[in-house]
Amino acid sequence: MSHWHTDYLSHPLYQPLRAICARLPLANWPGQADYDRLLQLAAPATLPAGLRFCCDLQAPSYYETHIADTGEVPTRSENWHDWFNALAWLAWPLSKAALNARHVRAIGRGEIQRGPRRDAATLLDECGVIVACAKPALGQALDDMQWQTLFVDERHAWGRQISVHALGHALFETGLTPHQGWCGKALLLAVEPDFFTLPEAVQREQLDSRLASMLADDDWLASPRQLWPLPLLGIPGWWPDNAEPSFYQNTDYFRPSRRAKSSSDTL
């Protein structure tokens, strides 16, 4: 366990969490009263009614069904993973609720052991990043793992025609100590060009609503392979060393290998 700090918030990965954390600045690990206060101050209107982060609760049933039945999210004290899970609920309320509901439906069908659909939902929940993209060629470069095109040749497009919005709470945890090999699992969503003129919070609200709607269809995102690897240290502005084109020559990190083609809500 590391000491409590908020230094991580300066990194672009944590953009979805900054405004939430600003509502309740903390000098130490949050306790139950802090979580309750955070809900009062920062809970969006789209958060499921009655949701509560319950410190050190041991759920008597399956984690997902307990949340669905009671609104109680088991949250370990002094635990980065669960702290970021709580923040992800506040930043992506519709999508988090839809992910939980997807698991509950699968459990109701007898899928107690996770199969491909539950695995895909878990991977998105833990390590997912939403890639908003208005230029088809950029989406194709991501699918084809053409990192030179995506990060060097089209560097000017980041923030203007393509952007990354982090969802996965395990990704927020690993972002505390970024390292070579650090990757997210990307879900590509097509957007209109004027999407990038909107405030970040509005962009995220739109993506949250779209993602939740898609997650309601259990035939969509049927396999973890539909989430694409994205080397996060390559994103312009996410790591100082990537200002040099030579940074992308590390093929152990920026792998050129192909995967089996998979569908996404692509362009």
Q: What is the DSSP string of 191-248?
A: --GGGGGS-HHHHHHHHHHHHHHHHT-TTSS-SGGGSEEEEGGGSTTS-GGGGSGGGG
Instruction: For helices 93-108 and 116-127, give the axis angle rounded to 10 degrees.
Output: 160
Position 64 scores a pLDDT of 94
Position 31 scores a pLDDT of 98
- 213 and 159 in a common domain: yes
Q: How many CB atoms lie within 10 A of CB 225?
A: 15
Please state, in angstroms and as integers, the Cα–Cα distance from residue 134 to each residue in 131, 140, 160, following that order. Answer: 10, 11, 9
Q: Is residue 179 part of a domain?
A: yes
Which of these three, 92, 111, 142, is where a domain ends? 92
Contact by Cβ (8 Å): 203, 154: no
- 125 and 39 in a common domain: no
Q: Is residue 143 part of a domain?
A: yes
β strands within the chain, DSSP E: 52-55, 72-75, 128-133, 162-166, 183-190, 228-231
Could you list the residue range(s) of the whole structural domain that residue 125 is in? 119-249
Contacts 24+ apart (CB under 8 A), 77-84: 77/29, 77/31, 78/1, 78/4, 78/29, 79/1, 80/2, 80/172, 80/173, 80/176, 81/169, 81/170, 81/173, 82/53, 83/29, 83/30, 84/17, 84/169, 84/170, 84/172, 84/173
- 184 and 237 in a common domain: yes
Pick from 16, 68, 61, 62: nearest CA to 42:
16
Position 2 scores a pLDDT of 79
- 81 and 137 in a common domain: no
Q: Is residue 161 part of a domain?
A: yes
Position 260 scores a pLDDT of 43
- 140 and 18 in a common domain: no
- 241 and 150 in a common domain: yes
Q: Give CA–CA dist 130/175, Å, rounded.
A: 16
Q: Which residues contact 107 (CB under 8 A, 6 or more apart)?
A: 62, 64, 65
Q: Is residue 74 part of a domain?
A: yes
Q: Give CA–CA dist 77/57, Å, rounded.
A: 10
Q: Give CA–CA dist 31/85, Å, rounded.
A: 15
- Could you give the number of structural domains in the chain? 2
- 130 and 41 in a common domain: no
Which of these three, 92, 111, 143, is where a domain ends? 92
Q: Is residue 37 part of a domain?
A: yes
- 87 and 133 in a common domain: no
- 166 and 65 in a common domain: no
- 237 and 137 in a common domain: yes
Q: Is residue 260 part of a domain?
A: no
Q: Is residue 265 part of a domain?
A: no
Q: Which residues contact 244 (CB under 8 A, 6 or more apart)?
A: none
- 131 and 84 in a common domain: no
Contact by Cβ (8 Å): 174, 81: no
- 242 and 135 in a common domain: yes
Contact by Cβ (8 Å): 190, 267: yes
Low-confidence ranges of the chain (pLDDT < 70): 1, 258-267
What is the identity of the amino acid at 105?
A: R
Position 265 scores a pLDDT of 45
Which of these three, 75, 92, 109, is where a domain ends? 92
Q: Is residue 47 part of a domain?
A: yes
